A and B are shown apart, each in its own frame.
Chain A
Amino acid sequence: MKPLKIGISWVRGVVGETLAPELVVDFACAFGTFVEGAPVAVGHDSRRSAPMVHAGVLAGLQSCGCDIVDLGLLPTPIIQYAVRSRRLAGGISITASHNDARWNALKFIGRDGMLLNSFQSGQVMDIYHLGEFRKRPWDKLGQIRRDERAAQGYFEFLLDKLDAPRIRKAHLKVVTDCCAGAGGGLVRGFLERIGCTVVALNDEPDGDFPHSPEPNVRNMKGLASVVKSVGADAGFLVNTDVDRVGLVAGGGIPLSEECVLPILADYILDSTPGCVVSTLSTSRMVESAAARHGRKLIRARIGEGYVLQKVVTEKAAVGGEGSGGVAVPKWTRWFDGFASMGLVLECMARRKTTLAELAAGLPRYHMIKGSIPSSSERIYPLLEAFRKSYHSESPNLEDGVRVDWKDAWLHIRASNTEPLIRIIVEAENLARARELYDLCYAQVQRLQTAGGA
């Protein structure tokens, strides 16, 4: 099983195993060839492997003749904004986002700041596989310019969009956990600028992650206890490049990462026309948010690139995933932890409500998520077997197999980021969810064993 994954908009691998410098350089060259040597931005998160990947990316882009705005240590949304606001041809964000410290990745950003969509990604991969990269002579190599001002520019942009005076007047106290990622220092600075009192945990961006950087309930223990002990109104857990956020309500109550999109969707739809885009694996909670405003919900394949592709074509008001990644397309077309946190606070301030109340307003579903390690050669036969066994339920086959019933749904698919089969079920009552999940899990295991025999 090789820990290298090539997905829509990125390539991700384990440093010291698959993510070797030559591979990094090759992908940087493929991207530099894709943008035809035009100027690009590069930034990275706080991982210890960042200097190695960063140097390889710079060398590859330089050799293609791309002038580089080197943004240094920065979260992905700010790199994306820098690409858009400076009218660059694209960018590379060096981050494995929510993956643990062994991993690193290149996220490819297009001309408009959006992650590459599936067509653009396909072109980069074709160039990579052909191996015929753009090569420029000594006097046409890309020049590197350092730029330390991107974060300030982005915060000014967001401050202008958010109702900062209202947030300020609410005197909100928040606790942040940046997991020693690229948000360290910056998230706190941003929240202070919109008038919050901030207690910052794991705020030193040194790459020594104190826990798994995935912003889910499992990783919120420390944050929740501080939210409770300091009497904060909210807690925010962000991943290493701040494209996702997880929420802790006042009193130290962790909210499922599935709550972020429905809470924000409900608030954004108050003031914005358009539909909602989420994924095949996202909770039905967002359906009721859309239904309440009389809007359509469109489900895309999993992955930011796919979601934003749909957001653009459907002119959606909001798009996101159940993992805590939400895009606010009237401002920006990418998953953005900063915009998400700002809007959650604005919602609390304007509606004079608490996170606990917002969460309580969501319909109750029971979701069970799990995964089973599986080698890539087994995944597809296995999904095929599933498709056959649920044939009579007319499953959705856009991304793995999704089956919908009136009171429940299940989704089984190959992970984009790891060699895993993911199983997600959601039902109105827990017993039904458990029953479906167990059935599905046993089925996967049976098929795996059969495949191995």
Chain B
Amino acid sequence: MTKVQSLKISISGVRGIVGEALTPQLLAAFAGALGTYLGRGPILVGRDTRPSGLMVLNAVFSGLLSAGCEPVDLGICPVPSIQVRTASVRSQGAIAITASHNPVEWNALKFIGSRGLFLNNYQAEELLDIYHQRNFAQVPAQEIPRVRQDSRAIPEHIQKLLDYFDARIVRGARLKVVIDSVNGAGSLAAPAFLRQLGCRVIEIHTRPDGLFPRNPEPLPENLGALRKAVVANRADVGFAQDADADRLAVVDAHGRPIGEDYTLALATLFALERRRGPVVTNLSTTQAIDDIARQLGCPVIRTKIGEINVVEEMIQSHAVIGGEGNGGVILPEVHYCRDSMSGMGVVLQLLAARRQPLHAIVASLPRYVVIKQKAEFPPDQVSRLLDALERRFPDARKSTLDGLKLSWDDRWLHVRPSNTEPVLRVVAEARSRSQAQALVRDAQRIIASLK
């Protein structure tokens, strides 16, 4: 079996365990590499609430300053708010200090370009080349800038959301909402946004101290407290964020998670009813998206996993909605980023406009069951594994855009190496749980036999 590494340097950034591989030396070097890559000028830096964030922040400041970049400290800030702010002020780009949905002992740097988009694969590879060559820009002492503070990122983001949604309709409904921000960066933004939409807000886990009261990944099994609170308070809906507030899980009034894939399904319904156009999502996202889009006569374009891959395709194809099945909704009119608060706005406006409970709206959507699993596997054996899987299912349509996706009309199986953790992701979807389970079981058996 392969050892789980405590460091992952990839095109999605550098991620590691604090106190093991994620050292201040490494962080300062990466910040220096980014400063070298983006060039001198302001670089925004925001972080989630993890207690290790301040150490990481100091190391990042040191690396940026040495390269002659002016760090603009956004403080604790959701990643989408960092991205919105980066696009609206003059800057070279931004760094988000967050390990997103990973447990608290992890932290990470994610790199954002001047338009507020994550670096794409080519840009990220250029950055990694600079990092590995170690020849970072260094300015003379007298040209080293100072750190500047900027507290406008969250207010500006909320204002953009209020401009996009029909706040009047939502306010009229006086919806009762429970918000679970996992004591993450969303704590400082989501409750304020919901109140400005006229909601009656019940907050759980909105103390921004980074002591995550649950696993920060907004999966159904991590939402126990939210589900109880929704039922106990007779709320209309419950929302759960991850630590950097890009992903959203939704719980209906009965306390049932609708499934994180259905966050995007609802957003697709909402956005396409406003305006017809292409939908972009990744290969591992529910087929319900295709069904919804088909009913409204809109095309669906599938991409590799990763926000930037979806975003670049959205820009290319002028998509009206996009996102990922893990609860990441992208409304291009707010910003080209996954944004849990965009997702909240969608759900609230749907509830207010349709005057229907959430479970009724969800029941009207095509129903699929998704099963997501992880498997440890030696990275050098992956192509052998994918060949074996393909041979096992000769009747399926296949896509090799990102790992291997095998599709039939009513079900699919997707196996690929993770971008963020040293594991394989195994995802299957079908009309019934037993069908999806059968696919996952077959895949896991082949994985185990080749390990």
A interface vs B, CB < 8 Å?
14-17, 20-22, 24-26, 28-29, 47-49, 51-53, 55-56, 58-60, 62-63, 101-104, 133, 135-142, 144, 208
Please name all residues of chain B whose beta carbon is closer than 8 Å to the beta carbon of A59 when the two chains form the complex.
24, 27-28, 55-56, 58-59, 62
Residue B65 at the chain A interface, CB threshold 8 Å: yes
Query: Chain B: which residue is nearest A63 at the CB level?
Result: B24
Residue B299 at the chain A interface, CB threshold 8 Å: no
Q: Choose among B55, B65, B104, B143 the residue that contacts A62 (Cβ–Cβ < 8 A).
A: B55
Q: Choose among B20, B25, B66 the residue that contacts A52 (Cβ–Cβ < 8 A).
A: B66
Q: Most chain-A Cβ atoms within 10 A of its Cβ — which of B25, B27, B139?
A: B25
Nearest Cβ in chain B — how far from A208, in angstroms? Answer: 8
Please name all residues of chain A whose beta carbon is closer than 8 Å to the beta carbon of B58 when the two chains form the complex.
55-56, 58-59, 62
Please name all residues of chain B whose beta carbon is closer than 8 Å to the beta carbon of A142 when the two chains form the complex.
55
Nearest Cβ in chain A — how far from B194, in angstroms? Answer: 30
Please name all residues of chain A whose beta carbon is closer than 8 Å to the beta carbon of B54 when the two chains form the complex.
62, 141, 144
- Given pairs A58-B55, A141-B19, A141-B52, 12 additional interface contacts (CB within 8 A): A21-B62, A21-B63, A21-B66, A22-B25, A49-B144, A51-B145, A55-B58, A55-B61, A59-B24, A60-B25, A102-B141, A102-B142
Contact A47 B141 (CB under 8 A): yes
Contact A51 B52 (CB under 8 A): no
Contact A29 B24 (CB under 8 A): yes
Please name all residues of chain A whose beta carbon is closer than 8 Å to the beta carbon of B19 when the two chains form the complex.
63, 135-138, 140-141
Please name all residues of chain B whose beta carbon is closer than 8 Å to the beta carbon of A49 when the two chains form the complex.
141, 144
Nearest Cβ in chain B — how far from A275, in angstroms? Answer: 40
Question: How many angstroms between the C-alpha atoms of A103 and B18 in the bound complex?
Answer: 31
Query: Chain A: which residue is nearest B28 at the CB level?
Result: A21
Question: How many angstroms between the C-alpha atoms of A159 and B63 in the bound complex?
Answer: 41
Known A-B contacts A53-B62, A55-B61, A141-B18; the reply to A60 vs B24 at CB < 8 A is yes
Nearest Cβ in chain A — how far from B164, in angstroms? Answer: 36
14 A-B pairs with C-beta separation under 8 A: A15-B140, A20-B32, A21-B32, A21-B63, A22-B32, A47-B141, A55-B58, A55-B65, A59-B62, A60-B24, A60-B25, A137-B17, A138-B18, A138-B104
Interface 0/1 of B103-145, CB less than 8 Å to A: 0110100000000000000000000000000001011111111
Q: Choose among B50, B142, B147 the residue that contacts A51 (Cβ–Cβ < 8 A).
A: B147
Known A-B contacts A21-B63, A59-B58; the reply to A138 vs B28 at CB < 8 A is no
B interface vs A, CB < 8 Å?
17-20, 23-25, 27-29, 31-32, 50-52, 54-56, 58-59, 61-63, 65-66, 104-105, 107, 136, 138-147
Q: Choose among B105, B141, B145, B147 the residue that contacts A103 (Cβ–Cβ < 8 A).
A: B141
Contact A138 B51 (CB under 8 A): yes
Please name all residues of chain B whose beta carbon is closer than 8 Å to the beta carbon of A53 when the two chains form the complex.
62
Nearest Cβ in chain B — how far from A186, in angstroms? Answer: 21
Known A-B contacts A51-B147, A52-B65; the reply to A16 vs B138 at CB < 8 A is yes
Known A-B contacts A51-B147, A144-B54; the reply to A26 vs B141 at CB < 8 A is no
Contact A55 B141 (CB under 8 A): no
Nearest Cβ in chain B — how far from A53, in angstroms? Answer: 7
Nearest Cβ in chain B — how far from A89, in angstroms? Answer: 19
Question: How many angstroms between the C-alpha atoms of A48 and B147 in the bound complex?
Answer: 12
Question: How many angstroms between the C-alpha atoms of A58 and B54 in the bound complex?
Answer: 9
Known A-B contacts A48-B141, A135-B23; the reply to A56 vs B59 at CB < 8 A is yes
Contact A52 B51 (CB under 8 A): no
Query: Chain B: which residue is nearest A64 at the CB level?
Result: B24
Q: Most chain-A Cβ atoms within 10 A of its Cβ — which of B18, B52, B141, B144?
A: B141
Please name all residues of chain B whose beta carbon is closer than 8 Å to the beta carbon of A63 when the two chains form the complex.
18-19, 23-24, 55
Q: Top 4 closest A-B pairs, CB basis?
A: A56-B62, A137-B19, A59-B59, A52-B65
Contact A104 B28 (CB under 8 A): no
Contact A52 B144 (CB under 8 A): yes
Question: How many angstroms between the C-alpha atoms of A301 and B105 in the bound complex?
Answer: 48
Nearest Cβ in chain B — how far from A212, in angstroms? Answer: 15
Please name all residues of chain B whose beta carbon is closer than 8 Å to the beta carbon of A135 when the two chains form the complex.
19-20, 23
Question: How many angstroms between the C-alpha atoms of A102 and B104 in the bound complex?
Answer: 40
Nearest Cβ in chain B — how far from A379, in angstroms? Answer: 26
Contact A16 B140 (CB under 8 A): yes
Question: How many angstroms between the C-alpha atoms of A53 and B107 in the bound complex?
Answer: 23
Nearest Cβ in chain A — how far from B229, in angstroms? Answer: 27
Contact B141 A101 (CB under 8 A): yes
Query: Chain A: which residue is nearest B27 at the CB level?
Result: A59
Please name all residues of chain A whose beta carbon is closer than 8 Å to the beta carbon of B147 when the two chains form the complex.
51, 55
Question: How many angstroms between the C-alpha atoms of A102 and B66 in the bound complex?
Answer: 13
Query: Chain A: which residue is nearest B138 at the CB level?
Result: A16
Nearest Cβ in chain A — how far from B35, in angstroms? Answer: 10
Question: How many angstroms between the C-alpha atoms of A139 and B212 in the bound complex?
Answer: 12
Nearest Cβ in chain B — how far from A49, in angstroms? Answer: 4
Query: Chain B: which residue is nearest A135 at the CB level?
Result: B19
Question: How many angstroms between the C-alpha atoms of A104 and B25 in the bound complex?
Answer: 19
Question: How many angstroms between the C-alpha atoms of A208 and B55 in the bound complex?
Answer: 29
Please name all residues of chain A whose beta carbon is closer than 8 Å to the beta carbon of B20 when the two chains form the complex.
135
Q: Choose among A14, A22, A141, A144 the residue that contacts B28 (Cβ–Cβ < 8 A).
A: A22
Nearest Cβ in chain A — how far from B393, in angstroms? Answer: 42
Nearest Cβ in chain B — how far from A326, in angstroms? Answer: 29
Q: Choose among B24, B52, B139 the residue that contacts A25 (Cβ–Cβ < 8 A).
A: B24
Question: How many angstroms between the C-alpha atoms of A292 and B61 in the bound complex?
Answer: 55
Nearest Cβ in chain B — how far from A418, in angstroms? Answer: 16
Contact B139 A16 (CB under 8 A): yes
Please name all residues of chain A whose beta carbon is closer than 8 Å to the beta carbon of B29 when the two chains form the complex.
21-22
Please name all residues of chain B whose beta carbon is closer than 8 Å to the beta carbon of A21 when the two chains form the complex.
28-29, 31-32, 59, 62-63, 65-66
Known A-B contacts A25-B62, A59-B58, A138-B105; the reply to A51 vs B141 at CB < 8 A is no
Please name all residues of chain B whose beta carbon is closer than 8 Å to the beta carbon of A14 when the two chains form the complex.
141
Contact A137 B25 (CB under 8 A): no
Known A-B contacts A29-B24, A51-B146, A58-B58; the reply to A137 vs B141 at CB < 8 A is no
Q: Most chain-A Cβ atoms within 10 A of its Cβ — which of B17, B63, B139?
A: B63
Please name all residues of chain B whose beta carbon is closer than 8 Å to the beta carbon of A51 when the two chains form the complex.
61, 65, 144-147
Query: Chain B: which residue is nearest A136 at the CB level?
Result: B19
Question: How many angstroms between the C-alpha atoms of A17 and B66 in the bound complex?
Answer: 10
Please name all residues of chain A whose beta carbon is closer than 8 Å to the beta carbon of B31 when the two chains form the complex.
21
Known A-B contacts A21-B32, A138-B104; the reply to A48 vs B62 at CB < 8 A is no
Q: Choose among B25, B59, B136 the residue that contacts A55 (Cβ–Cβ < 8 A).
A: B59
Query: Chain A: which residue is nearest B19 at the CB level?
Result: A137
Question: How many angstroms between the C-alpha atoms of A136 and B143 in the bound complex?
Answer: 34
